[in-house]
Amino acid sequence: MGAGGYNFSDDTFDENATGFLTGRGRGLQNGGEMNIDAVVSSMSTAEKAGLLAGETHWKTHAIERRGIPAVVFSDGPHGLRKQEKGEDHLGIHESVPATCFPAASALACSFDEALVEKVGAAIGEEARDQGVDVVLGPGVNMKRSPLCGRNFEYFSEDPLLAGILGSAMVRGIQSRGVGACVKHFAGNNQEHARMVGDSVIDERALREIYLPAFERVIRDAKPWAVMTGYNRLNGVYCSEHPWLLKDVLRDEWGFDGLTVTDWGAMSSSVVSVDAGLDLCMPGPRPDHARALVSAVSKGGLSCGALNDAARHVIELACKARSGREVPYSCDYERHADVAYEAACESAVLLENDGILPLKGTESVAVIGSFALLPRYQGAGSSKINPVHLDDSWSALANAGVDISYAQGYDAVMGDTDETMLVQAARVASESDVAVVFAGLPDRFESEGFDRKLMVMPKGHRTLIETVCAANPRTVVVLQGGSPMEMPWRAKPAAVLLMYLSGCQGGRATADILLGRACPSGKLAETWPVSLQDTALGTGFPDMNREVLYRESIYTGYRYFDAAGVEPAYPFGFGMSYTAFAYSDPCITACDGGYEASCAVENVGACRGREVVQLYTKPVERRGFAEARRLAAFASVDLAPGEKKRVCMRFDETAFRFWDVFEHRWRIEEGKYEALFCASSRDMRLASSVTLTPGAGPFSVDGPRAGSGAGREAPACYEDVAPGCFADAAFARLMGSAMPARRPLRPFTIDSPVSDMSATFIGRQAFRIVDMLMAKTVARMSAETRAMMSEMAADMPLRSFTSGGVPLEVVEGLVDVLNGRRIAGMAKIARYLPSWSADADR
């Protein structure tokens, strides 16, 4: 591009180069394998720096004369989004058809490691088939609030469950010779102002809630790559965070793979690489290499940091090349069956007065646009172009059910009117059973913005109430990525939650309704009665740049337990068409921990699967601590009358807490209950474990000097109540770690667009940027335009580089905004014309 690039053929920068040029030959070899250390040692500073940003939006640079291949990335948390004709990270351009599996919010409800690994393997096979080397997923961030717009991409509010399922997904993907990139590291838990926000998290919450899922995936599954979050963490951008990227990720957890920015997350090239960041994406970013070379020459960046980053990029390229030799087969029809299996196991039966399963002989009124136009996936970077896509109306018809149909509401907006309501009531009253399909349209939740309220569209709510009044034998099928308020939940005879169930959710829904499949999913997140019942209430998203995690460790069921708030449906809840009896609990010490087991018997009339959950709970709760935590889980599939023993292993993570005074994990001596549960609020059996210093399978601490064993905190964190988390108390909890508020002036490349538009010159510049981006915006779908509209004001100025705008143009704009008009305009004039020409091409 006109802004210049590194020329590998003669090891120089070329201001007129259109990209990276590659020579011929092979890298230094050692017994047939590349000697990476020797290759790195033989490379020039400029050559190494040139490797550390993408060549294109999805591909790294290759150096053929050194035997270094390019690596191809693709989005893919719940299926592949490989782009060939247009490139973006927001779901704007079309992608190659692929299988759309249930989103993570659905898949997590299976509580099934083997199933998640099978889904991962299928994604890995499609990646191989489409020439993708690294899949950008899974996401293991915590669900801090039901309102987070990207919750559908994440597994759970519980770090153990998210970590175990995230590990399974990574193992599945990588078993096919494709790398997985776990994301978004770390504290990336709201979409509002995600690229400029600062997640302010106290040390205990960070260690006990927001990092453990990443730690488990790193230690257990060894992903090829880790993606940093857009956000700052306690004042420092995640891509520039040496404590996060070096001290924790590499030194403490032993990660030996590649670190990569989220697309467009790079702020400072030199600071990032010095902090342990390896790869900047997307490309091309010739400014990145120039900045690194200049910093090394001036002593602002060590050769060691540059070498480490280059080594990690080359190691990833070698893994990718080796992965291409791993035998595999790719059968999209078989993958559709895997998607169907996953949708069935992930479905959660929330209510049932006995109406389900249907006999199949009833006349059924199918009501709601989602029956024909299902909400089966999320919006944004994970949006997949499905090879196959079914719907519930067709599946019921194909099953021979006598069905009629009413639209009920507009599929896009979710609005209804008197005509649609009258038609729905008539169809329902004329049928034996009514099935209403409702939930959250695309415009209600997406990457890029957070929900404002926890409600369904008014049209959906009104439709449900109207149909229930017309026919009390009404079943509601919910589609959506997150919890929603259900003030109507006592009115229907049954409620079946499908979440975003992927491309085969229609067939899965029909088979569950007809009893061909038995629902066995358990909620991987708490469903509150109302938004006000959550730890954050209407305080999410935090509209300030500093996002205060006031609730500390009290997220999800931990908050509901501590505050004594009754949810609509608790964590781990899910009904079945059959029933299970638990008996004979047993806890025994084993290598590295304990084994818990109990007998489970199917005492109902049909085959079913039960998920047994084990929670640990100190007999005496000591102040600042959760009431209980998930320690293990296992599932068992049983025929009627069948009885099996279910075994689960748990280790020190079931008991440990982070001591903020000694900055280490501690396990307090004492007696702990081990609760065998059907949900977090449904205990079936209890046993106990006594931890004593010097005894047992792991180290146990005696009392620490002082009170509270390292748990001292403001009173509201020991006696939790709704609305108790105040800024002043959180500031005391953070202490000296509380970052200072960032000034709005002077402008920097990290300043959001909204700041720029607050000045006269900024508004004029904004119009120019708006004009330059017009072609891109015109290609967007309506929901993508809505997402971009929500995001635009809080995007940093540097984010324009993701659209190909040279960083120098952005820096020139910043100069102009700060009053350095001549210097700024000169910089813009130098780089803008060549970029505009490239953009037109």
Task: Please state, in angstroms and as integers, the Cα–Cα distance from residue 452 to each residue in 186, 193, 499, following that order.
Answer: 23, 14, 19
Give the DSSP H or E segment for 727: helix 727-734
Kindly provide the residue ranges of all beta strands, DSSP E only, lying in 60-215, ordered along the sequence.
73-75, 134-136, 179-185, 198-200
* Distance (Å, whole) CA 231 – CA 239: 9
Q: Are 87 and 32 in contact (CB under 8 A)?
A: no
Q: Are 176 and 135 in contact (CB under 8 A)?
A: no
Task: Count the neighbouring beta carbons within 10 Å of the beta carbon of residue 649.
Answer: 16
Strand 29-30 with 33-34, pairing: antiparallel
Task: Count the neighbouring beta carbons within 10 Å of the beta carbon of residue 366.
Answer: 26
* Distance (Å, whole) CA 673 – CA 653: 15
SS (H, E, C) 686-723: EEEEEECCCCCCCCCECCCCCCHHHCCCCHHHCCCCCC
Phi, psi of 697 (to 5 degrees): -80, -10
Compute the Cα dihedral for 607, 495, 145, 277 and give only its sign: positive
Name the residue among 509, 430, 526 with its Cα closest to residue 475. 509
**Cis preceding linkage at 192, omega within 30:** no
Classify 608 as helix, strand or coil: strand
Burial class (CB in 10 A: 0-12, 13-18, 19+), 695: exposed
Name the residue among 838, 828, 790, 816 with its Cα closest to residue 193. 790
In eight-state DSSP terms, residue 253 is: T
User: 88, 129, 262, 794: which is the annotated catalytic residue?
Assistant: 262
> 3-state DSSP helix/strand/coil percent for the chain, to nearest 5?
35, 20, 45
* Distance (Å, whole) CA 814 – CA 290: 19
Residue 180, CB half-sphere, CA atoms under 13 Å: how many? Answer: 34
- Return the amino acid letter for 562: A
* Distance (Å, whole) CA 712 – CA 735: 12
* Distance (Å, whole) CA 227 – CA 258: 9
In eight-state DSSP terms, residue 602 is: E
Burial class (CB in 10 A: 0-12, 13-18, 19+), 761: middle
Q: Which token pair is 96?
A: 């190659």
Please say if 247 is a catalytic residue: no
Find all residues with CB under 8 Å of 627, minimum gap 6, and list them.
558, 561, 562, 617, 621
Q: Are 131 and 70 in contact (CB under 8 A)?
A: no
Name the residue among 680, 682, 679, 651 with its Cα closest to residue 667. 651
DSSP 32-86: TEE-HHHHHHHS-HHHHHHTTB-SSSSBPPPBGGGTB---BEEE-SSS-B--SSS
* Distance (Å, whole) CA 282 – CA 89: 9
* Distance (Å, whole) CA 770 – CA 749: 17
- Cα-Cα-Cα-Cα dihedral of 526, 532, 533, 535, to 10°? 80
> Which amino acids are annotated catalytic?
262
